[in-house]
Structures are given as structure tokens and as C-alpha cells.
């Protein structure tokens, strides 16, 4: 038997508000398993996520500078408590390639720039010595934009709070390629729990953009023997990047 669409009604049998039929329809869709939809405000009453509108007004942001202004002195998750600076992201706003890491560390927090510590130097070497690209020619961002205390892993709620900003950055830059660095960036964008050891080096797709995961440079500092695996991933990426022109 099909599901019935519920519409909240007054005692007189009229819809409780002009938007009540829409809210009822949204509930009906949600019960049928639809999780995300383009739609008006009333759809949110049914707990549905609106594309591009994770935060009111985010859908009206059309440049990276405007996005940084929108984020403001963000207090949308508890990582705001320990940060020195929000690390928004850096690089070419028209980059063909975006690297996505996990979150700022101590050096990044102090300087307000992504990947500037030891792991950052390794990433710069990968980009400039390995890929023969300028670091300023690519874009670098993180899943969470504030430093987790003691460099702990970001929690699910923190990732969920900050992810809309990363999604928006990727939407605005519209790169041809994304290289995710490590477990959190990869699992967040691909919506998977598969381990990075299985995901790395395999082409995937994120919102129509080709995505290749590899290990995080901080992991490589602890496990230098795996540099050869990252080198293999980078060669795969460059073969497509160079063939794309
Ligand atoms: S991590 Fe993201 S959501 Fe949380 S306070 Fe920082 S900018 Fe805001």
C-alpha cells in the first residue's frame, strides 16, 4: 500500500498554514527515503537538508571572499574555543587542482594558513618537486577550518558543522581535480567509511569532479616508507592532469 501524504490541518479542515501542504509533502518524501532536495524554507520543517543552504544565506554566496566574510568569526562548532585563527584556505581561486586536508595544526592555527608546518613543507615538495606545479597555482583547503585541540581528530559534529564551507569552496573554485589528503578529507567528501589504505590511488568522483585520495603528509612524516605509494598516486593524478589540457 502507498504512503499517505500528511498535511497539518486546522479544526475546520483547512491547511494549518499556507506552507503546510509543502511541509506535509516534505515529510512524505523524507519517509520515502529522500534526504536532500531543492525547496523552500518549509521543507526544512521536515528536517530535510536543502542543497546549498546548510546555513541560511550560504546559497547567495558567489565568491571565495564573500564566503570568508560569511564565515566571519565563526562559532558554529566548539572548535572555535581553542583557535587562534580560522584557516580558510589558500591558493588560486581558479585552480584546476584542489588539495583537501583534515584541519589546521599548531603552525597553521598561528599563521592562519593551511599546510605551513612540517607536513606543509612535504606537501609543497610533492606539488613543486613531484608534480612540477607552483604551490600558488593550486588551491589548498581543509575539512575543518579551526584547529582541533592537541591536534586530535575532528569529531563528526565538527565536520558536519564545517563541511558546508568546504563544499561551497569546491563549488566556487570548480576544479577539474581534487586530491584528498588522508582519511578525514576522503571519507567526508566521498561519504564512505572505507579505510584510506583501500581508497588511496583509486579515482573516484565528487559532484562531477574527478577525485583521487592519497595519504596525508603528516602520516608520511611518521611512515616515510609509504612515500612511494603517494608518489604512485601523484603520478596517476599528473597523467590525467597533463592529458586534460
Ligand atoms: S571549525 Fe568550521 S564550523 Fe567550527 S567554528 Fe571553525 S569555521 Fe566554524
The pLDDT value recorded for residue 101 is: 98
9 in any annotated domain? no
For the CA of 158, the closest atom of ligand 1 is 4
Q: How far is CA 38 from CA 50, 57, 161, 236, in A?
A: 6, 14, 20, 36
Residue 99 sits in the same domain as residue 157: yes
pTM of this structure: 0.80
CB-hemisphere CA count at 13 Å for 133? 23
**Is the same domain home to 33 and 118?**
no
* Structural domain of 39: 22-50
Q: Which atom of ligand 1 is nearest to the CA of 144?
A: 1
Task: Dig out the grid coordinates for 171 from the structure.
Answer: 563549488
**29 belongs to a structural domain:** yes
pLDDT at 6: 57
Of 48-52, 75-79, 157-161, 232-236, which gets the smallest average pLDDT? Answer: 48-52
Greater confidence (224 vs 25) lies with: 224
Ligand 1 close to Cβ of residue 87 (< 6 A) = no
Q: Is the pLDDT of residue 206 over 80?
A: yes
Question: Measured from the CB, is residue 80 less than 6 Å from ligand 1?
Answer: yes
- Which positions ≥6 away from 177 have C-beta within 8 Å? 96, 97, 98, 209, 210, 211, 212, 237, 240, 241, 244
Residues 190 and 103 reside in one and the same domain: yes
pLDDT at 71: 98
In the chain the beta strands, taken as DSSP E runs, fall at 36-37, 49-50, 90-91, 97-101, 139-142, 177-181, 204-206, 209-214
Q: How far is the CA of 67 from the centre of ligand 1 (A)?
A: 13
pLDDT band, residue 42 (cuts 50/70/90): very low
Atom of ligand 1 nearest to the CA of 154: 1
**Cα distance between residue 162 and residue 125, in whole Å:** 28
Angle, alpha carbons 228-230-232 (nearest 5°): 70
pLDDT digits (tens, 9 = 90+) for 27-38: 655 555 444 444
Q: What would the pLDDT profile of 53-72 be if each residue is shown by its tens digit?
A: 689 999 999 999 999 999 99
The per-residue pLDDT for range 6-28, each reduced to its tens digit, is: 555 566 666 555 545 555 655 65
The β-bridge partners of 204 are 211
Domain total in the chain = 2
Q: Whose CA is nearest to atom 3 of ligand 1?
A: 162
What mean pLDDT do residues 176-184 have? 98
32, 130: one domain? no
What does the chain come to in residues? 245
pLDDT given at position 54: 86
Lowest-pLDDT range of 52-66, 81-95, 103-117: 52-66
- For residue 17, the Cα-to-chain-centroid distance in whole angstroms is 36
The answer to whether residue 70 sits within a structural domain is no
Grid cell at residue 187: 571519507
DSSP string, 172-183: HH--SEEEEESH
Average pLDDT, the chain: 87
Does ligand 1 have an atom closer than 6 angstroms to the CB of 144?
A: yes
Cα 242 to ligand 1 centre (Å): 35
Least confident of 41-55, 148-162, 203-217: 41-55
Judge if 89 and 158 occupy the same domain.
yes
In a domain, 139, yes or no: yes
For residues 81 and 143, membership in a common domain is answered with yes
Percentage of the chain with pLDDT > 90? 76
Phi–psi pair at 12, nearest 5 degrees: -80, 0
Contacts 24+ apart (CB under 8 A), 19-26: 19/45
- What pLDDT score was predicted for residue 39? 47
Give domain status of residue 209, yes or no.
Answer: yes
Residue 122, ligand 1, Cβ within 6 A? no
Q: Compute, in angstroms, the gap from residue 81 CA to the centroid of ligand 1.
A: 10
Residue 229, domain CATH: 3.40.470.10
Question: How far away, in angstroms, is 166 Cα from ligand 1 center?
Answer: 11
**How remote is the CA of residue 131 from the centroid of ligand 1, in Å?**
31
Are 127 and 34 contained in the same domain?
A: no
Measured from the CB, is residue 79 less than 6 Å from ligand 1?
Answer: yes
Amino acid at each position: 500500500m502507498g504512503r499517505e501524504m500528511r498535511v497539518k490541518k486546522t479544526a475546520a479542515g483547512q491547511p494549518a498554514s499556507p506552507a503546510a501542504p509543502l511541509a506535509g509533502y516534505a515529510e512524505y518524501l523524507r519517509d520515502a527515503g529522500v534526504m536532500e532536495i531543492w525547496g523552500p524554507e518549509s521543507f526544512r520543517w521536515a528536517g530535510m537538508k536543502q542543497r546549498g543552504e546548510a546555513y541560511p544565506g550560504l546559497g547567495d554566496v558567489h565568491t571565495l571572499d564573500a564566503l570568508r566574510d560569511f564565515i566571519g568569526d565563526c562559532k558554529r562548532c566548539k572548535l572555535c574555543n581553542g583557535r587562534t585563527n580560522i584557516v580558510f584556505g589558500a591558493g588560486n581561486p581558479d585552480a584546476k587542482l584542489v588539495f583537501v586536508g583534515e584541519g589546521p595544526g599548531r603552525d597553521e592555527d598561528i599563521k592562519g594558513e593551511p599546510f605551513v608546518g612540517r607536513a606543509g613543507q612535504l606537501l609543497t615538495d610533492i606539488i613543486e618537486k613531484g608534480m612540477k606545479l607552483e604551490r600558488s597555482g593550486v588551491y589548498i583547503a581543509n575539512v575543518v577550518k579551526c584547529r582541533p585541540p592537541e591536534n586530535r581528530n575532528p569529531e563528526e559534529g565538527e565536520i558536519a558543522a564545517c563541511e558546508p564551507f568546504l563544499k561551497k569552496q569546491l563549488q566556487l573554485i570548480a576544479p577539474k581535480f581534487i586530491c584528498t589528503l588522508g582519511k578525514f578529507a576522503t571519507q567526508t567528501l566521498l561519504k564512505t567509511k572505507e579505510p584510506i589504505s583501500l581508497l588511496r590511488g583509486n579515482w573516484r568522483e565528487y559532484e562531477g569532479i574527478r577525485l583521487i585520495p592519497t595519504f596525508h603528509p603528516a602520516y608520511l612524516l611518521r611512515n616515510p616508507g609509504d612515500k612511494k605509494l603517494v608518489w604512485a598516486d601523484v603520478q596517476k593524478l599528473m597523467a590525467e592532469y597533463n592529458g586534460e589540457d
